[in-house]
A and B are shown apart, each in its own frame.
Chain A
Amino acid sequence: METLSDENAEAAGPQLRVASSPGDAPAVTLTGDWTTLGLAQRVMKFKRELGKLATQPRVSWNLLRLERLDHTGALLLWRAWGRSFPERLSILPALKQHFARLPDAGTTGPSRLPQRSGLVQLRLVQPVVRLGQGLLGWIEQLRELVALFGRLLLDLLDLVRHPGRWPAREISAQIYRAGAQAMGILALVGFLIGVVLSYLSGDQLRRFGAEMYVVDLLGIACVRELGPLLAAILVAGRSGSSMTAQLGVMRLNEELDALTTIGVPYTQRLILSKVIALAVSQPLVGLWTSAIALLGGMIAAHFSLGVGFYYFLDAVPRVVPIANYWIGLGKGVVFGVIIAVVACFFGLRVKPNTESLGAGTTSSVVVAISSVLVADAVFAILFQHVGM
C-alpha cells in the first residue's frame, strides 16, 4: 500500500522538522503531503509531536513548503494551535482556505462522535430493567401475533363469503414451492433417519429376540411422530425463512403499502395464501417423509435383522392403527399453520435496515421450530391413549 501511494502521488510523504537553537523558540517546518491518505501511516506520531510543540511558547510555523494540505491535515494543525492561527505563521493564502471550516476555540469544543441514543442506567438495576423490558417486549409480540391471527381469520371469513377472491394462484404456487420442491430433501432426510432408527432399535430388539417388533416401532414412530416433525423442521428452515425474507424486503420496498393502495389486502393475498398453502402441503409432505422413512427402515431391517420386505409391508397396516395416520396428518396441518404464521409475523416486523432483516429471518426459524415442538408435545399429551 505504501509503495503505491508513494510512487503514485506527486507529493512526498508528510514531514515535520523542528529546528531549535538554544535561547530561541523552536521553528517548525512542514513539508510533503498533509492529506487524509498521506498522513494515514504516521498520523499518531505527528499528533504526539504536535501536542508537545503546542505546550511551548512562540513556536514559528513554516508551511510554505507544504505540497498538499486538506481538511484532515488542517484539522491536525488547528488542534495543535489551540484552534486559532499562531502568531508566527508563514502560509500561502491559498492554503488558508482549508482552515475556514474549522471551528474556532470557544464556539465549539472538541467534538466526540455522537453515540447512539440509549438509556443510561445504574448498573445494579440494569438486569432487572432488561428483564422487564424483555418481558414487556415478549408480551407485546404475543399481542401482535394474536392480532395477526385474528386478522387472518377475518380474511378467511371474507374469502368464504366472496369465493371469487380466492388467491388460488398464490396458494398453488406456494404449495409447489414449499411442498413439491421440498420433497427431494425430505426424502433424503427421511430415508436416513429410517435407516438409523432401524439399526439402533434392531440392536436392542435382537437381545430380546423381538426382531419382528421393529415394524411396530418404526411404523408408529415414523407415521405418528417423525414424519410430520422432520418435515416441519425442514420446511421451517427452508420455506419459513424465505417467507420472512420476502415479506421483509417487500415491506422495506413499500411494496406492501403499494398493494394496500391498489386495494389488495396484503394479509389476505400474501399471508393467508401462504398459511393455507402450508396447511395443505405440510400434512402431505409429512406423509411423504413417513413413507420414505419407513422405506429406509425396511431396507435396513432387511439387512441387519433379516426381516423380509414382504413381511414388513404386510405387517405395517396391521400394527399401525389408522388413527396414527390421522394424528400425523392433523399435526401436519397445525405445524404448517404455525410455520407460515410465525414466518409472516417476523417478516412484517422487519425494520428498514439489513441487520433487522437478518435477525428477523433467524427469529422466524427459531421460533417456528420451537413452536412446532411445543405443539408436538401438546399433541402427545392430548392423544396419549389414541391409536396405540
Chain B
Amino acid sequence: MTPAEPAVIRLTGITTRFGDHVVHRDLDLSVMQGEVLCIVGGSGAGKTTLLREMLGLDYPTAGRVEILGKALSELGSEQLIALRRHSGVLFQRGALFSALTVMENIALPLRELRSYDEDLIGEMALLRLEMVGLSRDDASKMPAELSGGMIKRVALARALALEPRIAFLDEPTAGLDPESSETFVAMIRELHRELRLSVVMVTHDLDTLVEVSDRVAVLADQRVIVAAPIQEVIKVEHPFIQSYFLAGRGRRALSALGAPGAAANS
C-alpha cells in the first residue's frame, strides 16, 4: 500500500444474489484510512450482508473485496487469519462467549496470538476493560449477568483487544436506551481518535450518524447511491434519503447539526 492510496477497504463491482433475489448490483465503496464510515439503508437493503462480505464471512457473487490492499478471495486461510487480526468486529448482539468470563472473553484474541505470557495478557486485557469504561469488579462476571449496555462494552473491548486498524460495528447502539447509547457513541468516538482506527459502522440511529460519522454511505436500489459527509448526503434527491433523513424524526436529529439542508429541503 502506498501513501497515495489511503483506502483501507475497497469494494469494486460487488454483486450479491440469493437465488433470484439481487441484493447488490455492481456496487462500489471505499473506506478511507482513519475515517468513520456509516452505512445506512432500509431494512433488507443488504447492509449486514455487505459488512459480512467485508469480513470474509460471506462472499459476493461477483466483485472484489480488498482489505488493506489484499483481495480477500485471493488469500489462503493462513493469510486470511493474519489479515483478520487487523480488524475487530462488534456484533449486533455482542456474540460474547457465554461460557467464558468477561476477562476471558477479552483475553481470548490475545491468547490466540500465542506469544504473550499470562502476566502481560492479564494487564493488557484489564487495560482494554478500563478503556471501555468497565471496572475490575466486572472482570469475573459471566456474560449472562451483564446488562445490554455492558455486553456491548465488553464486546467492543474484545473487538479492540488486538488494537486493530479497522473496527466493524454492526448496529452498535441497537437495543440501548438513549442515555447509554449516547455514552457508547461518545466512547466510540474517543477510542477512534485515541487508537487511530478506521471504523465501518452499520446503524439505524440518526443521532449516532450525526454524532460520529465522517461520511455516510447510503445503500438503496442495490447500490451505494451516495457516500459523502452527511451535509452533502441530505441534499441528494432520492426518495429514500428524503424519507429517512428529512421526515420529522430525521429533521430533529439534523437540527443538532445545524444543517441548512434540513431547512432547505423541508
Most buried by B among A4, A115, A353: A4
Cβ–Cβ contact A72 & B119, under 8 A = no
Which are the 3 A-B pairs with shortest beta-carbon distances?
A353-B98, A352-B144, A113-B122
- Known contacts A8-B1, A72-B163, A113-B125, A40 near B116 by CB under 8 Å: yes
A117 CB-CB contact with B under 8 Å: yes
CB-based nearest A residue for B81: A1
* Tally of A interface residues using CB under 8 Å: 37
- The closest CB in chain B to the CB of A117 belongs to B140
Interface hits, B184-226 → A, CB 8 Å = 194-195
Q: Using a Cβ–Cβ cut-off of 8 Å, how many residues does chain B contribute to the interface with A?
A: 46
**Residues of A contacting B161 in the complex (Cβ-Cβ under 8 angstroms):** 36
A97 contacts the other chain (CB 8 A): yes
Question: Are B117 and A8 interface neighbours, CB within 8 A?
Answer: no
Which residues of chain A are within 8 angstroms of B98 by Cβ–Cβ distance?
Answer: 352-355
User: Is A351 an interface position by the 8 A CB rule?
Assistant: yes
- Bound Cα distance A141, B191 (Å): 48
Whether B29 is near chain A, meaning CB under 8 Å from some CB there, is no
Interface residue stretch chosen among B36-44, B126-134, B236-244, B250-258: B126-134
**Cross-chain contact of A70 among B70, B103, B107, B195 (Cβ < 8 A):** B195
A37 & B162 in contact (Cβ 8 Å cutoff) = yes
Checking B113, B131, B142 against A40 with a beta-carbon cut-off of 8 angstroms, the contacting residue is B113
A5 within 8 A of B: yes
A207 within 8 A of B: no
What residues of A have a CB within 8 angstroms of the CB of B140 in the complex?
Answer: 114-117
- A and B contact pairs by CB, cutoff 8 A, 20 listed: A4-B82, A8-B1, A36-B161, A36-B163, A37-B86, A39-B115, A40-B116, A71-B127, A72-B120, A75-B127, A101-B130, A110-B123, A111-B122, A113-B122, A113-B139, A114-B136, A351-B144, A352-B98, A352-B143, A354-B99
Q: How far is the CB of B73 from chain A (nearest CB, A)?
A: 15
Do the beta carbons of B119 and A112 come within 8 Å of each other?
yes
Partner of A76, one of B81, B120, B136: B120
The answer to whether B162 touches A36, judged by C-beta atoms less than 8 angstroms apart, is yes
The smallest C-beta distance from B126 to any residue of chain A, in angstroms, reads 5
* Residues of chain B within 8 A of A114, CB atoms compared: 101, 103, 136, 139-140
CB-based A-B contact count at 8 angstroms: 102
In whole angstroms, how far apart are the Cα atoms of A41 and B118 in the complex? 16
What's the least CB distance linking A349 to chain B, in Å? 14
Which of B's residues lie within 8 Å of A, judged by CB?
1, 68-70, 78-79, 81-83, 85-86, 97-99, 101, 103-104, 107, 110, 113, 115-127, 130-131, 136, 139-140, 142-144, 161-163, 194-195
Is B121 within 8 A of A113, CB to CB?
A: yes
A367 proximal to B (CB < 8 A):
no
Taking a contact as CB atoms closer than 8 A, the residue among A4, A36, A41, A101 that contacts B131 in the complex is A101
Q: Which of A43, A70, A72, A113 has the most CB of B within 10 A?
A: A113
Residues of A within 8 A of B130 (CB): 101
